[in-house]
């Protein structure tokens, strides 16, 4: 009997060892996951998921729940694939005060909002490295505006947006001296500042303008979110490095128990700006706009910005202590709760907006940071989520009173309840989630249903591809009490934040092609009969048309070494999905991808004598291979007349 018990005991022991093994996806993926993500051929996804491209500088668009990549929208980086940033029409989009900056680090996205809900008009994107914000038109999925942010560096807490798209913000992560002051790095405390720029968005045109910049002490503004409903007037920024370290931040910026959430009353700031409490400061920043009618971008250098100093503007800025270098600062759909995610903390503080207001009224301050009142932690606190996991980074909401927080260190998503701060569920992620995203999760009315975790570490998720791996996202079903993992999908660049909008809000308003009659490009060729080649000095303008399956002109002679040839190619097609490409042999520029009804220009430097074939690079028809031509570049000073045409056969060839 004893022997039997002993045997039974060891079996139980071995069984318990088995059950102690680490969790893998095998353990978390349930049976019907495949059905939930299967979008049959010919069927559409439920959501457009816009995902930031991180170090790719672009924005990618995925379908949910399939996780299929639908498009990469070029925003802050040149895009040889379609000529963005290379064509004469689009070069100006990437202009800055330092000339054309061909790359950036794109972190966060925000859809335009009306009454705290997505309205499907525009998508805004930030550039972290060379501070800029961009606007993307959601009828063409094209970048139509880029605005540089002066007096800033590390434009990270951007482009978060107010409930009616009144403003988007741009906050400094790497404090810098204002202007171009040459100061010792060690004078950080004295000379370095962070700024919170408020960029107004025109209701009708979407045009962006820096309304004012709030000058804050030198520290690192990290993320932000606007209030909603009762907290409509406020914007909340998380910050770290209130230690004001300027070297080895890893250690030196992680010393304090608490950093801050900076609460900015932007309605008040707007009043101060109107009342002349700010001062205009000379500066320079590029403002680039793409004109739909001329299909051409122009860059203007703005010369002035309005600065607001909290010292001159009482009741405009408050600080709320927040544990351990907070990252996400997220406002729940009711606008009452503000969730700070201290990335080095073992708890999640949840602040109450009504308590914050009461604390301000009762002057419950524990001191001041560079003259800015610091509200007592307990006075602002709704409560803390205890033991949620390790490394909370970012929180979104489902509109049913629940919050979802990504845990970088413990690599999981944690679901908890806003009212009593109880943890309800946790699911592992593979691996180390940064941001997460619930469709509409940052609005007043989240769509819920799904959650996407954008993971920072990939390791063994897919077939290995050498040392450099794609990034990985994971889709969860959050419609039930417990979260269910559905899908892994690879992503481009490094996704940080994302936004998702129901497909029905965008799919029927997509532009299918440009009306050729509304093409006001300076170099448009309205029909093959207008095709032309014009020489002015050493500049040669080729007015070329493309239609299936020929280019006019397709023979060009009389171009000499040293000439600059501008190929202005107009796609005469007026049908959906008939782009033509254009490339010239040995061109140091790149491909043009010209949509129906559009005109794009490639500059070709004729550096060497020779015959240069050019051709359509986008397979357009059964006779696509025939859609080609020749440019003859002759030695300088040779006697070759300017000649061009299509279908003209020389008599000596014809007679044969």
Binding site for another protein (CB under 8 A): 547-549, 573-575, 621-623, 626
How near is the Cβ of 582 to another protein at its closest, in Å? 19
How near is the Cβ of 512 to another protein at its closest, in Å? 10
How near is the Cβ of 575 to another protein at its closest, in Å? 5
Strands (E) across 95-174 are located at 95-96, 99-100, 109-114, 117-127, 132-137, 142-148, 167-171
Burial group, residue 185, by CB count within 10 angstroms (0-12, 13-18, 19+): exposed
Comparing CB distances to another protein, the nearer of 554 and 557 is 554
Quote the CA–CA distance of 485 and 452 in Å, as a whole number: 10
Contact residues for 59 (Cβ-Cβ < 8 A; gap 6+)? 50, 51, 52, 53, 72, 73, 75, 106, 109, 123, 125, 136
Instruction: Supply φ then ψ for residue 639, to 5 degrees.
Output: -95, 70
How near is the Cβ of 234 to another protein at its closest, in Å? 48
Question: Quick one: three-class SS letters along 417-456?
Answer: ECCCCCEEEEEECCCCEEEEECCCCCCCCCCCCEEEEEEC
Comparing CB distances to another protein, the nearer of 232 and 548 is 548
Comparing CB distances to another protein, the nearer of 493 and 596 is 596
3-state DSSP: the chain helix, strand, coil percent, rounded to 5? 15, 45, 40
Comparing CB distances to another protein, the nearer of 555 and 574 is 574
Comparing CB distances to another protein, the nearer of 21 and 43 is 43
Comparing CB distances to another protein, the nearer of 117 and 574 is 574
Contact residues for 248 (Cβ-Cβ < 8 A; gap 6+)? none
- Token pair of 135, please? 């606007």
- Token pair of 412, please? 């999981």
How near is the Cβ of 578 to another protein at its closest, in Å? 9
How near is the Cβ of 503 to another protein at its closest, in Å? 17
Comparing CB distances to another protein, the nearer of 464 and 647 is 647
How near is the Cβ of 623 to another protein at its closest, in Å? 6
How near is the Cβ of 553 to another protein at its closest, in Å? 19
Comparing CB distances to another protein, the nearer of 275 and 622 is 622
Q: How many CB atoms lie within 10 A of CB 182?
A: 6
Nearest to 321 by CA among 225, 233, 407, 256: 256
Distances (CA, A) of 239 to 18, 215, 267, 460, 498: 44, 14, 21, 34, 21
Quote the CA–CA distance of 549 and 526 in Å, as a whole number: 17
How near is the Cβ of 572 to another protein at its closest, in Å? 9
Comparing CB distances to another protein, the nearer of 134 and 531 is 531
How remote is the C-alpha of 213 from its chain's centroid? 22
């Amino acid at each position: 009997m004893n022997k039997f018990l002993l045997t039974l005991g060891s079996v139980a022991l071995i069984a318990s060892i088995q059950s102690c093994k680490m969790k893998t996806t095998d353990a978390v993926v349930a049976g019907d996951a495949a059905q939930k993500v299967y979008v049959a051929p010919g069927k559409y996804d439920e959501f457009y998921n816009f995902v930031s491209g991180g170090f790719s500088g672009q924005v990618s668009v995925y379908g949910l729940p399939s996780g299929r990549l639908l498009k990469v929208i070029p925003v802050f980086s040149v895009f040889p694939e379609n000529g963005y940033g290379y064509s004469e029409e689009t070069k100006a989009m990437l202009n800055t005060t330092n000339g054309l900056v061909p790359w950036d680090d794109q972190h966060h996205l925000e859809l335009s909002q009306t009454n705290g809900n997505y309205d499907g008009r525009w998508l805004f994107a930030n550039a972290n490295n060379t501070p800029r914000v961009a606007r993307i038109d959601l009828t063409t999925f094209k970048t139509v505006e880029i605005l540089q942010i002066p007096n800033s560096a590390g434009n990270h807490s951007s482009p978060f947006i107010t409930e009616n798209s009144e403003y988007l913000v741009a906050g400094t992560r790497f404090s810098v001296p204002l202007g171009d002051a040459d100061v010792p790095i060690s004078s950080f405390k004295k000379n370095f500042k962070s700024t919170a720029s408020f960029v107004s968005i025109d209701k009708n045109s979407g045009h962006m303008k820096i309304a004012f910049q709030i000058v804050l002490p030198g520290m690192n503004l990290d993320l932000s979110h606007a209030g909603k409903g009762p907290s409509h007037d406020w914007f909340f920024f998380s910050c770290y490095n209130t230690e004001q370290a300027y070297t080895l931040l890893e250690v030196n910026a992680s010393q304090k128990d608490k950093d801050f959430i900076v609460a900015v009353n932007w309605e008040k700031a707007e009043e101060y700006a109107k009342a002349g409490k700010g001062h205009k400061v000379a500066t320079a920043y590029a403002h680039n706009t793409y004109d739909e009618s001329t299909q051409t971008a122009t860059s203007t250098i703005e010369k002035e910005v309005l600065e607001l100093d909290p010292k001159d503007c009482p009741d405009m800025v408050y600080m709320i202590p927040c544990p351990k270098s907070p990252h996400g600062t997220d406002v729940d759909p009711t606008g009452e709760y503000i969730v700070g995610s201290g990335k080095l903390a073992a708890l999640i503080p949840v602040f109450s907006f009504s308590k914050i207001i009461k604390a301000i009224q009762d002057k419950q301050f524990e001191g001041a940071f560079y003259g800015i009142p610091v509200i007592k932690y307990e006075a602002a606190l709704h409560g803390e989520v205890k033991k949620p996991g390790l490394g909370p980074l970012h929180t979104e909401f489902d509109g049913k009173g629940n919050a979802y927080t990504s845990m970088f260190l413990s690599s999981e998503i944690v679901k908890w309840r806003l009212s009593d701060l109880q943890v309800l569920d946790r699911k592992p992620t593979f691996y180390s989630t940064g941001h997460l995203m619930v469709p509409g999760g940052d609005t007043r009315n989240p769509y819920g249903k799904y959650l996407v975790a954008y993971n920072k570490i990939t390791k063994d998720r897919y077939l290995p591809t050498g040392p450099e791996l794609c990034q990985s996202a994971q889709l969860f079903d959050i419609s039930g009490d417990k979260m269910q993992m559905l899908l892994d999908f690879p992503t481009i660049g490094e996704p940080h934040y994302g936004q998702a909008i129901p497909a029905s809000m965008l799919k029927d308003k997509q532009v299918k092609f440009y009306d050729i009659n509304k093409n006001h490009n300076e170099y448009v060729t309205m029909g093959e009969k207008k095709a032309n080649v014009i020489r002015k000095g050493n500049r040669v303008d080729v007015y070329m048309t493309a239609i299936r399956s020929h280019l006019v002109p397709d023979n060009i002679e009389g171009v000499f070494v040293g000439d600059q040839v501008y190929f202005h190619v107009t796609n005469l097609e007026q049908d959906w999905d008939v782009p033509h490409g254009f490339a010239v042999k040995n061109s140091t520029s790149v491909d043009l991808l010209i949509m129906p009804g559009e005109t794009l220009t490639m500059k070709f430097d004729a550096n060497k004598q020779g015959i240069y074939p050019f051709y359509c690079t986008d397979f357009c028809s059964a006779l696509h291979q025939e859609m080609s031509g020749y440019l003859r570049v002759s030695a300088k000073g040779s006697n070759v007349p300017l000649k061009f045409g299509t279908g003209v056969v020389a008599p000596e060839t014809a007679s044969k």
